[in-house]
Amino acid sequence: MGARKILLLTIAALAGSALLASSVAAASLKPADYQQRSHWLYLPTQPFHKVDVFYLYPTEYTKPDPGAPIICPVNDPGMMAGAQAAFQRQATALRTFANIYAPYYRQAAEGRSAYREAGDPPGEVNDFGATCGKVR
């Protein structure tokens, strides 16, 4: 068998196992219950404005350690802290003219090695898995 065929078979096997692993992880998660106030980052108690905005914050979940799941639960503390920081940076600009609806939601960790080290502040992991300016 040629090197090209071996390479293609290896890539196919890796992709298949990754898809299977993520579908198993996703299947084990319960659906988020958005009737629970705790599943909302921000939910107006009484709409005052004529405009409604459904705000989705950027990916804030990072695996706390390499063995953690790729997909976080809706109440992951690190993701929630990062979401709150992102909301303060971005969505508060809309409060003067819009009713903001911002749910917490499950996220997949970004990057090949995106995980937090002890003591890293939330919201400091970028797309490439670099934390607080340190390249992994």
* 127 and 62 in a common domain: yes
Q: How confident is the model at residue 52 (pLDDT cuts 50, 70, 90)?
A: very high
* 79 and 40 in a common domain: yes
**DSSP conformational letter for 92:** G
Q: Does pLDDT of 50 surpass 90?
A: yes
* 25 and 58 in a common domain: no
* 43 and 21 in a common domain: no
* 63 and 81 in a common domain: yes
* 42 and 4 in a common domain: no
Residue 31 has a pLDDT of: 87
Instruction: Write down the H helix ranges in the chain.
Output: 3-27, 77-90
- What's the number of domains the chain is made of? 2
* 10 and 62 in a common domain: no
Is the model more confident about 81 or about 118?
A: 81
The residues pairing with 39 across neighbouring beta strands, listed in sequence order, are none
* 25 and 36 in a common domain: no
* 13 and 63 in a common domain: no
- 32-46 burial, b at 16+ Cβ within 10 Å, e below that, comes to beeeeeeeebbeeee
What is residue 87's three-state secondary structure? helix
Lowest-pLDDT range of 10-14, 30-34, 108-112: 10-14
pLDDT in tens, 55-111: 999 999 988 888 888 899 999 999 999 999 999 999 999 999 999 999 999 999 876
C-beta of residue 121 within 8 angstroms of C-beta of residue 132: yes
Taking the model in full, what pTM does it have? 0.62
* 121 and 68 in a common domain: yes
Q: How confident is the model at residue 11 (pLDDT cuts 50, 70, 90)?
A: low
Residue 23, domain extent: 1-30
* 83 and 128 in a common domain: yes
**DSSP conformational letter for 32:** P
